[in-house]
Amino acid sequence: MTATTDDAEILSGVLDQWKAAVDAHQPDRVAALFTEDAVFQGLHPYSVGRQGVADYYDSQPLGMKAAYRILETRRHADDLVLGYLAVEFSFRDRPPLDVKLSVLVVRTGDDWSIGHYQVSRLD
């Protein structure tokens, strides 16, 4: 299947909330956007579940902000959208960090949640 406007809208719906929670340094709010069994890989060892997501974002510096751009989307099933993104994390006291992010969002009832999150740093 190929990318559609609907897929980008689905991803943006989840990722706009993610960005707002990251920017506000609200780790529990970030974690609530993930499935209970989400596989999460930031730039530290991976975790499974919302608590690992909350712990990861709680450890990030105050003032960190995220800006993302969707590069690709794929709909592999009716309830599953893959997104590949460019993300810039900016900080108050150091240069920004540019990464690539792959996310898998899963429909749970009427909502969409992040079931898989993997950051890659390409220097």
| Mean pLDDT (whole number) for 44-69 | 96
What are the phi and psi torsion angles at 37 (to 5°)?
-110, 25
Which pLDDT value is given to residue 122? 83
Q: How confident is the model at residue 2 (pLDDT cuts 50, 70, 90)?
A: very low
* Chain mean pLDDT for the chain: 94
Provide the percentage of residues in the chain whose pLDDT is more than 70. Answer: 97
pLDDT interval class at 4 (50, 70, 90): low
pLDDT of 1 > 60? The answer is no
Mark out the alpha helices in the chain (DSSP H runs). 5-23, 27-31, 50-58
Cα separation of the two ends of the chain:
30
Alpha carbon distance 93, 60 (integer Å) = 13
